[in-house]
Amino acid sequence: MLYSLILRVAARILVPLLLLFSLFMLLRGHNLPGGGFVGGLVAASAFVLHVLTAGVHASRRVLRVEAHTLLGVGLACAYGTGLLALVMGEPLLTSLWVDVHLPLLGHLHLGSTLLFDIGVMLVVVGTVLLMVFSVEDRLPGLAEE
């Protein structure tokens, strides 16, 4: 399939920037607006842009993980944070915090909310990619390289 040269060149710049911005939104969001859902939508939009410029098969090779695997791991992360709170004797989905000192990064105050947001992000990316990749069966032009 012949893709637009302008779109392909723009995608080479935009895809890494969108993925970096999604990471920023994820890390910012567990204390401020943003988080796993918004970060997941931005990351999924980067992969959708890649599908539009390189095709479904090339995008699946770049992803290296099946979309349903991302969805399952994300559900396990989100569910695991809820169970972790129950194991610690707290109500379901209560935020748990730990102070960690790493030699290069210094003192970090990490919470279970970050793990929950990572799970949400993976669920969103997996769900969007499942929908986009399923279009391959309906529109054969997207499957061509």
Give the end-to-end CA distance of the chain in Å, rounded to a whole number: 6
Find how far residue 2's CA is from the centre of its chain.
Answer: 28
Amino acid at 136: E
Average pLDDT, the chain: 87
Question: What one-letter code names the amino acid at 9?
Answer: V
pLDDT tens-digit series, residues 36-90: 999 999 999 999 999 888 888 888 899 999 999 999 999 999 999 989 999 999 9
pLDDT number for residue 114: 86
The residue whose two tokens read 């920037």 is 17
Per the listing, tokens 């061509």 go with: 144
Kindly tell me if the per-residue pLDDT of 143 is higher than 60.
no
Residue 45: per-residue pLDDT: 96
Confidence of residue 2 (pLDDT cuts 50, 70, 90): low
Q: What is the pLDDT of residue 30?
A: 63
pLDDT of residue 98: 85
Find, among 126, 29, 19, the residue nearest to 74 by Cα: 126
Which of these ranges, 43-57, 97-111, 124-138, has the smallest mean pLDDT?
97-111
